[in-house]
Structure 1
Amino acid sequence: MSNNNKSNEELPVKKLILLGVLGALSITQAVTAQEYTAGEKAREIAQQHLIIDTHIDVPYRLFRDWEDVTQATQRGDFDYVRAKQGGLNVPFMSIYIPANLEQTPGASYQLAHQLIDSMEALAWRAPDKFAMAYSVDDVLKHQEQGLISLALGMENGSPIEGDLANLQTFYDRGIRYITLAHSESNHIADSSYDIRRQWNGLSPFGKELVKEMNRLGVMIDISHVSDDAFWQAVETSAVPVIASHSSLRAFTPGFERNMSDDMIKKLAETGGVIMINFGSSFVTQQANRYGDIIRKQIAAINEQYGKGSDEAEQRIAAVRTKNPFPFASLEQVLDHIDYVKNLVGIDYIGIGSDYDGVGDSLPVGLKDVASYPNLVQGLLDRGYSEADIKKILNENLIRVWREVEAYAAQQ
């Protein structure tokens, strides 16, 4: 979620997501802006082949700041016009539930239904542009019809509220993956961001939930969960799991929200897919640690000159001007894809951009949903074949989704 879309009490946690973990690092200037121009072949690939992005935060964005995304919009990373320009066919719309709502019985459940309602309303208002998608077959049918499929993933399992009947309810409403936890541990699993590890992985109910998700045909998403919860989810699940919007810890040491090499190897061994997150703080160590460094400088200024004083405000403004956010580049996102390919192979990589979820931290060259051809061009430039690119754009995720559907059909 973007900071702009968050309530104030949610901002500290999201800043951890956007700005990274603690640590000292010298701040350098941001990546020099440059234009990435996709060639004709890259644009053709993006338009001809299905593009699935498993994490786009439109529902909560519109809940906080509504605008008509069936038309070109002034704000946000997604609208219909840009999605068509970029070749996006299947945005998994994130039914994002703030972690603190779990403390209020019924609040998570209610919000989840409201956000699902909003996506159904979007498809109803523009049936010539969008359609709800509940299966791989739906996605393929909509592609033939020229429609953008709105698939649904629930980011944070708190709306389940400890009742498996609620899982059935949300499956019936179209939820096809669930991120077990978010920024705080919940009744299902420990969070990678939460120092409290009350379950040391999954709760007893969480293990039961994973099995029931398998039975119904809901993909298990291990983005956001603790390492122990990841290992237990993979061990418990009878089918492959996904990381709907994660990148690699090799590039951000100490950032548990990203995946380690051993986790990626296990994910691949069991047939799962890591969907690469585009947010700069997921991609580079410099962006990951930027926020803590800036906060320390601001705290020192406030202590010396008095918080809120004219002198302090001027000096803080100067610090921000001198040290702009160090945006990652498209090339650095491609480095993550290369790393996974070299570690476990091409069959376990997908796209989970986190558009509309990481605020203004998106990399140069990947600023919105019109940018997928730039990603394709970068892959072509690095020697990826069209067959390999198709796997990243859709085939790897479809394989997992099909396996999940097939397992559920046999139960």
Structure 2
Amino acid sequence: MKKIYLIGLTVLIFACKVNKTPETDHQKKADELAHKYIMVDGHVDLPYRLKVKNFQMQKEFTGIPVETKEGDFDYKRAKKGGLSAPFMSIYIPASYDTQGAQKLADSLITMVNYIATEKSDYFEVAKTPAEIREIFKKGKIALPMGMENGSPIGEVADVAKYRAKGISYITLSHGKDNRICDSSYDTTHTWKGLSPFGKDVVKAMVKEGVLVDISHVSDDTFYQVVEMSPVPVIASHSSSRKFTPDFQRNMSDDMITKLGKNGGVIMINFGSTFLSSEVAEYRKNLQAEIKSILDKKGLKARDEAAEPIIDEFFAKHPLAFADVKKVADHIDNVVKLAGIDHVGLGSDFDGVGNSLPTGLKDVSDYPNLLAELLRRGYSESDIEKICSGNIFRVWEKVLAYAGK
């Protein structure tokens, strides 16, 4: 669908007789902190977004994201929002076999390196927290990389190869069970968690200093990973299942608690359907209704003749969105269960399409979330941990263990 329709969710505002910092001060302080501290986002899907837009490896190509109206990310918007280090997602669809997955992964890694080379005044590739800190001092945006879906790992030795290519985390699976483990989206339960090969892959990741990312994996996989891993693990872009009880992709309260005991960090996904079951259900019903209308006319959603029908439908039935307060609710829940040391930001910008919450529509909007956290009593130290302190702590522990 080419057009975007918005509707705000009803927000109840309760007034209470307490001394409060004026709203303008909250926003001003949030903007200050967003630029004072390094801000890491665990998952931004820029490379694949550019790939499907037919990104060309040419110097004259204007799509390198310094300033653009397309997508959710570019340099200028990122600097406005205080984003310092977005993990570039090396996303591999579940449909790819190992050989195809490796070719796609290599092409996306090459793309990220190309962007950093061609726009070296703005971007620089990073492989460690120390490198991110140095890049931050230069005023540039660091581009660490995470592989979303471990399907390019054809043999255990590939873990070291991809670490050498700049991959700092591997999301073990994506939308389907793979050779490594089961997926939260799949009902096949091929391995009842990790496969024997998958266990060897996790061991190799620990050895090589690659963060183990349990976003997308099944519950069984998560528990087995946490049980066997001698280092903290991450969820690079997941949210709390408390607010989406039927959405297995998010983490249950028990999983979040165990992640905290493991020392890990969950980086909250901003997608509205990750944040609110009410929004997810509303959207699901709309999709079913428009599908029924198209089916009766013998049309598919991709058909040119379907476009005006879809446009008319959504003009009368606007989409619903969560809001920045709901993102803060998810952070609150993680802090309640696991503590302030175990939560971060994993927006999924450029990956969740037209479902970003009101107040967090692109990478310029992070201060809106920080302002909401300040309203809720989070300290400056808390904000620093959420922005980067927590993921750096985990990442450095993983690197230190590998170094031994």
Q: Is residue 58 from structure 1 mapped to residue 46 from structure 2 by the alignment?
A: yes
The AA in structure 1 aligned to 2:202 is V
Deviation string, structure 1 residues 97-136 (Cα, Å, up to 9, x no partner): 011012xx41000110100000000110111111111111
> Relative to structure 1, is the Cα distance of residues 300 and 106 closer, same or farther in structure 2, using a 3 angstrom cutoff?
closer
Shift of 1:306: 3.6
Q: Is residue 280 from structure 1 mapped to residue 278 from structure 2 by the alignment?
A: no
8 Å CA contact retained: 2:283, 2:320: no
The AA in structure 2 aligned to 1:53 is D
Aligned to 1:74: 69
8 Å CA contact retained: 2:8, 2:358: no
Q: Is residue 31 from structure 1 mapped to residue 9 from structure 2 by the alignment?
A: yes
8 Å CA contact retained: 1:77, 1:369: yes
Q: Is residue 138 from structure 1 mapped to residue 131 from structure 2 by the alignment?
A: yes
> Relative to structure 1, is the Cα distance of residues 92 and 29 closer, same or farther in structure 2, using a 3 angstrom cutoff?
closer
Q: Secondary structure at the match of 2:174?
A: coil
8 Å CA contact retained: 2:259, 2:338: no
Aligned to 1:19: none
Aligned to 2:117: 124
Matched residues in 2 for 1:313 and 1:113: separation? 35
Aligned to 2:147: 154
Aligned to 1:24: none
Number of residue equivalences? 379
Aligned to 1:91: 86
Matched residues in 1 for 2:113 and 2:254: separation? 39
Matched residues in 1 for 2:145 and 2:291: separation? 41
Of the structure 1 ranges 63-72 and 225-234, higher mean CA displacement relative to structure 2 is found in 63-72
Aligned to 2:14: none
> Which residue, 280, 291, 307 being the options, matches 2:298?
307
Aligned to 2:255: 263
8 Å CA contact retained: 1:217, 1:405: yes
Of the structure 1 ranges 55-64 and 281-290, higher mean CA displacement relative to structure 2 is found in 281-290
Deviation string, structure 1 residues 359-406 (Cα, Å, up to 9, x no partner): 111001001111111111111111111011101000010000010000
Q: Is residue 110 from structure 1 mapped to residue 103 from structure 2 by the alignment?
A: yes
> Relative to structure 1, is the Cα distance of residues 70 and 208 closer, same or farther in structure 2, using a 3 angstrom cutoff?
same
Matched residues in 2 for 1:275 and 1:207: separation? 24
Of the structure 1 ranges 59-68 and 375-384, higher mean CA displacement relative to structure 2 is found in 59-68
Of the structure 1 ranges 112-121 and 138-147, higher mean CA displacement relative to structure 2 is found in 138-147
* Identity %, equivalent residues: 50
Matched residues in 2 for 1:369 and 1:132: separation? 19
Q: TM-score, normalised by structure 1?
A: 0.87
Shift of 1:168: 1.1
Aligned to 1:12: none
Aligned to 1:219: 211
Q: Is residue 388 from structure 1 mapped to residue 388 from structure 2 by the alignment?
A: no
Q: Secondary structure at the match of 1:91?
A: strand
> Relative to structure 1, is the Cα distance of residues 211 and 288 closer, same or farther in structure 2, using a 3 angstrom cutoff?
same
Of the structure 1 ranges 183-192 and 294-303, higher mean CA displacement relative to structure 2 is found in 294-303
Aligned to 1:189: 181
Q: Secondary structure at the match of 2:204?
A: helix
> Which residue, 20, 25, 28 being the options, matches 1:40?
28
Aligned to 1:329: 323
Shift of 1:237: 1.0
The AA in structure 1 aligned to 2:329 is D
Q: Secondary structure at the match of 2:193?
A: coil
> Which residue, 101, 107, 122 being the options, matches 2:96?
101
Matched residues in 2 for 1:148 and 1:200: separation? 40
8 Å CA contact retained: 1:29, 1:323: no
8 Å CA contact retained: 1:301, 1:316: no
Matched residues in 2 for 1:259 and 1:312: separation? 37
RMSD over aligned Cα, in angstroms?
A: 2.3
Shift of 1:299: 4.3
> Which residue, 178, 185, 192 being the options, matches 1:200?
192
> Which residue, 284, 297, 301 being the options, matches 1:292?
284
Aligned to 1:210: 202
Q: Secondary structure at the match of 1:274?
A: strand
Matched residues in 2 for 1:126 and 1:149: separation? 12
Deviation string, structure 1 residues 176-195 (Cα, Å, up to 9, x no partner): 10000000110001000011
Deviation string, structure 1 residues 156-200 (Cα, Å, up to 9, x no partner): 000012x11211110001101000000011000100001111100
Shift of 1:344: 1.9
Aligned to 2:242: 250
Matched residues in 2 for 1:317 and 1:141: separation? 47
Shift of 1:41: 1.3
Q: Which runs of 5+ in 1 are unaligned?
A: 5-27
Matched residues in 1 for 2:10 and 2:100: separation? 44
Matched residues in 2 for 1:53 and 1:41: separation? 20
8 Å CA contact retained: 2:81, 2:363: yes
8 Å CA contact retained: 2:180, 2:197: yes
The AA in structure 1 aligned to 2:186 is D
8 Å CA contact retained: 1:142, 1:148: yes
Matched residues in 2 for 1:383 and 1:121: separation? 42
Aligned to 1:375: 369
Q: Secondary structure at the match of 1:357?
A: coil
> Relative to structure 1, is the Cα distance of residues 306 and 78 closer, same or farther in structure 2, using a 3 angstrom cutoff?
closer
